[in-house]
Structure 1
Amino acid sequence: MTNDRKEKERAFFENGSMLLEKLIAICNGKSIPIRSFSDEELKQATNNYDARLVIVQDELYWKWYKGSLYGRLVSIRKFEGGVHIIEGRGLSNYIINDLVISAKMSAHKNVLKLMRCCLETQPPILVHEFAANGSLANRIQGPGGSQQHQPLTWVSRLKIAREIAHAISYLHTVFSRPIIHRYIDMWNIFLDQHDVANLSNFELSISVPEGETHVQVDILSWCVGYMSPKYFATGKVTEKVDVYSFGALLLGLLTGQNSNDFTQLNNGECVDFSKPKKECVGLVVCMQNGAQGRCIVDPTILAGEGRGSTIEQQLQAVVDLAFTCRKIESQIRPTMVGVTKELMRIERLVL
């Protein structure tokens, strides 16, 4: 037996063992069918991972490839080296977590459907349905994004916000124990050919233990601008951690900027991780004091929708909702069910 074959068998055994443990722990022993492709099949599907087939590459060295498997287009998610916060077997463990929760969430229409996986590699490779319009980050902020696609209208952005809010609400409420995503950002939202939003990447998702109000973690999410200050300081996770992150997502949809650029607010001050403090505070003051919300709106929204009173009302309502989601005290933040209902109300303002 060749060394390559031995490595594949060892990886398959280790990943399969972790997968079984995770299925038992998260799914209460219930069966979830998860099928696998071989490493060779995925290499053929991507022309040996041809760089020209990369549709998304995020800041954590994940690449999403456009592939073709048995006549069907797919999105193939593969980790490709570099320095990473999680290494070795630990990384595989997180991918297995992603795999299991993706399978549990596949019934939801706004989750990127998991098709299969490959357990012969370290870490495993995940195969999802094809996301024709790529990630929301690339669509709004990416190089050439506005040239490859029509700019996202305000109506589309509001719909995307509502769709993702609904998916997170589902994650929080449908299962026997709430599951917290912990990694909500634009890179983890994909758009199909009709710009329907699909949530992905559940590798950091975690369940609140039975009888507990929170869970303590050591590994934080990697998107600083999306983390609430208390989560960042204490590592305590509740559903309200996702609500804070969703507020950052709303700001990104409104402004067209990377939400990490907003950094974090602490009693109105800017905790400076990536931007000069003066610039960050200026943006914050504009949103908190500027009653119209107009000064922070992505110019492509204004170019497409104009300055009608309905758009003004919707923009201001979303600004207000974003800052309510980003309250320092978690108990003041709404639930994601409440956020979803508010977004539905804001959409109806157009009628």
Structure 2
Amino acid sequence: MAGKTRGGKAFLENGSMLLEKLVAACNGRPIPIRIFSYHELVSATNNFDSGLVLRVDAYYIWYKGSHEGRTISIKKHGSNPCPIESIFTDIAISAKIRPHKHAVKLIGCCLETPLPILVYESITNGTLAARIYASDDDGVPQQRRPMAWQRRLKIARDISHAISYLHTAFSRPIIHRQISVFSIVFDQHDVPKLSNFFDCITIPKGETCVCVSFSGYGRGHQCPNYVQTPYVTEKTDVYSFGVLLLVLLTGRRAPHMVESVRNRRINEIVDAAILAEGGADMERQLQAVLQLALACVDLEPEIRPTMVDVAKELRRIDRTQKYK
């Protein structure tokens, strides 16, 4: 009985906070997300069996689950939990961006635990980080299949559209603040999806920036203007996306990436797996993407392109510089 009482209290408190977030984020429009019971998620994961763990990240443990004949992915807080306010932001923004085909699709959540548990479509094919990096976080080499350049470019195009959607599809721009290879996941059909909306922030109506303290997460890909000042703009995400482009080009980790590629020849920085594909046409395409990436990471935010312009340029590069 005591457990049920605690679960009921958590449900009421979390439900109230979630409703407030959803109303604010979605302007009162109905959002089709399901509320799961804790028992349903225990059943779906065989009591959160460690053998069903997909991955562990900074704040969460991801589990593979099965519910009503459907494979799902469950995001449960770990030993270093995300602040509860950020969890509700994650739910609200995930619900709002749900229609976009390159944003991870939230199915619902469980509110019976002190920290809500989130339920998503099946995203069991890992992160971009696991595919692009030759070693894990501790520097231990990991097996990976070389990723073809056209596949990397397609991922960049798809994710640029998702970020552009955040920036332009709503009355107030939404800034992601965590664009990186760790925030890009692949669903069961291997479609890339943008995830990790817990750090999103909305720019107030009539403003071009918002004042907020740096969260401290994801330093390797963060815009230096954001790290050094309390201001966030759309160009904050543009910088991070530029770092993402550089990682796709080089296969190297983000820290110090920008400094390491400036003023160097394309064949000195590009991933050897890409260079092995060869071809002058491909080299021109790589050079065009490098120039776009460097424009995105310009130290002057005003000089950086918008994400809409970035998406258009990637489309132009893909269409006009195809190689055989």
Do the two structures share a fold, i.e. TM-score over 0.5?
A: yes
**How would you bin the TM-score normalised by the shorter chain?**
over 0.9
1:290 aligns with 2:261: no
Structure 1 partner of 2:290: 319
User: In 1, distance between residues paired with 2:300 and 2:98?
Assistant: 33
What is the rounded CA distance, in whole Å, between the counterparts of 2:302 and 2:194 in structure 1? 25
| Superposition map of 1:21-170 within 5 A | 21-58=20-57, 60-82=58-80, 91-141=83-133, 143=136, 147=143, 150-170=145-165
Q: TM (normalized to structure 2)?
A: 0.93
Note if contact 2:122-2:188 (Cα within 8 Å) is conserved in structure 1. no
Q: Distance in 1 between matches of 2:297 and 2:125?
A: 29
Runs of 5+ consecutive residues of structure 1 not aligned to the other structure:
266-280
- Hey, what does 2:222 align to over in structure 1? 227
Query: Is the partner of 1:160 in helix, strand or coil?
Result: helix
* Number of equivalent positions: 318
Distance in 1 (alpha carbons) for counterparts of 2:75 and 2:41: 11
Answer yes or no: is 1:13 the counterpart of 2:12. yes
SS at match of 1:259: coil
- In the alignment, residue 169 of structure 1 is paired with which amino acid? S
Q: Deviations over 1:12-40 (max 9, x none)?
A: 11111111111222222222232111111
Secondary structure in 2 aligned to 1:289?
Answer: coil
Question: Are 2:296 and 1:301 equivalent residues in the alignment?
Answer: no
**TM-score, normalising length: structure 1:** 0.86
Deviation at 1:302, TM superposition (A): 2.6
Deviation at 1:220, TM superposition (A): 2.5
Q: CA deviation at 1:290?
A: 2.5
Give yes or no for contact 2:131–2:145 (8 Å, CA) kept in 1: no
1:210-289 to structure 2, matched below 5 A, reads 210-220=205-215, 222-262=217-257, 281=259, 284=260, 287-289=261-263
After superposition, the C-alpha distances for 1:230-252 in whole angstroms (9 at most, x for unaligned) are 11111201110000010111111
Instruction: Work out whether residues 73 and 124 of structure 2, in 8 Å CA contact, stay in contact via their aligned partners in 1.
Output: no
Residues 15, 92 of structure 1: 8 Å contact kept: no
Task: Indicate if the aligned counterparts of 1:204 and 1:221 stay in contact, CA closer than 8 A.
Answer: no
Residue of 315, 318, 321 corresponding to 1:347: 318
CA contact 1:34–1:116 (8 Å) conserved in 2 = yes
Q: Deviations over 1:158-187 (max 9, x none)?
A: 000000000000110010111111111111
1:146/1:131 Cα in 2 relative to 1: closer, same or farther (>3 Å)? farther
Question: For the residues of structure 1 that align with 2:247 and 2:188, how far apart are their CA atoms?
Answer: 21
Deviations 1:40-93 (A, max 9, x none): 1111211211222111222x13121111111111111111113x6x5xxxx121
Could you report, residue by residue, the CA deviation over 1:297-347 in whole angstroms, capped at 9, with x for unpaired residues?
A: 2222233x2x20121111111111111100111010000000001111111
Unaligned runs of 5+ in 2: none
Distance 1:118 1:193 in 2: 23
How far, CA to CA, are the matches of 1:145 and 1:113 in structure 2? 32
Provide the secondary structure at the position in 1 that maps to 2:34.
coil
**Amino acid corresponding to residue 314 of structure 1 in structure 2:** Q
Q: 1:47 aligns to what SS in structure 2? A: coil
Instruction: Tell me which amino acid in the other structure corresponds to 2:269.
Output: I
User: CA contact under 8 A between 1:168 and 1:336: conserved in structure 2?
Assistant: yes
